[in-house]
Amino acid sequence: MGDGALLVELDGPDLAHALRRALLREDLAGVKELIPGQASLLIVADPLVADLDAIAAHLPAVKAEPMLAGRLHEFDVVYEGEDLPSLAKELGMGVSELVRRHTQAVYEVAFLGFVPGFGYLTGLDPALRVARRSKPRIRVPAGSVALADGYTGLYPQATPGGWHILGRCDAQLFDATLAQPALLAPGDRVRFKVAT
């Protein structure tokens, strides 16, 4: 991808993380970023230092393996999101049914991206699969719990966004002063509960 990156297409985020771990062990000169995605690992390098062709030719073999079993996070959610009624209607179910389905699943953090600490959570009930809003919002408040494109997630900070907002919670998902700034890590599991 361009003169400074290699895009490795893979079958799932588990393989992307496995390849990332394998490449970290090799400690390749000039490699600046290893960014896992839903079906890829992006290797970003300084082309004057790293030999991208050599890296591409000697990618370590990785096999599908369960992600490292991470922590379980439970978030208390106030399900009063702006899009809750319209989304329930679009999905052809009642609001309480939508909330029940959203709180029933145990999600897995597939990878992080979009803004610092934002985890793409997989494991969404297939009945809740829906495209993004046709008009993205200029500002989605921090702590919003939302879903779209087969994922659900929590907004670590206020940002423009196109996902459907179900509710809010007050978890701090990113703190730049910590050694591990992101609360969520790939492989972690997440469960949402109705705040009481």
Residues of the shown chain interacting with another protein in the complex, contacts defined by CB under 8 A: 1-5, 7, 20, 32-42, 44, 47-48, 52, 111-118, 120, 149, 157, 159, 174, 176, 181-182
Question: Nearer to another protein by C-beta: 34 or 99?
Answer: 34
CA distance 96 to 56: 50
User: Tokens 């809010």 correspond to what residue?
Assistant: 168
Question: Nearer to another protein by C-beta: 94 or 160?
Answer: 160
User: Tokens 């408040």 correspond to what residue?
Assistant: 141
| Min dist. Cβ of residue 44 to another protein (A) | 6
| Min dist. Cβ of residue 104 to another protein (A) | 25
Question: Nearer to another protein by C-beta: 36 or 167?
Answer: 36
Question: Nearer to another protein by C-beta: 103 or 157?
Answer: 157
CA distance 111 to 120: 6
Structure tokens at 77: 């959610």
| Min dist. Cβ of residue 177 to another protein (A) | 8
Structure tokens at 102: 């959203």
Question: Nearer to another protein by C-beta: 79 or 155?
Answer: 155
Whether 163 contacts 133, CB under 8 Å: yes
| Min dist. Cβ of residue 121 to another protein (A) | 12
| Min dist. Cβ of residue 100 to another protein (A) | 27
| DSSP one-letter code for 78 | B
CA distance 117 to 111: 10
Q: Which residues of 35-63 are buried (b: 16+ CB within 10 A; e: fewer)?
A: bbbbebbbbbbeeeebebeebeeeeeebe
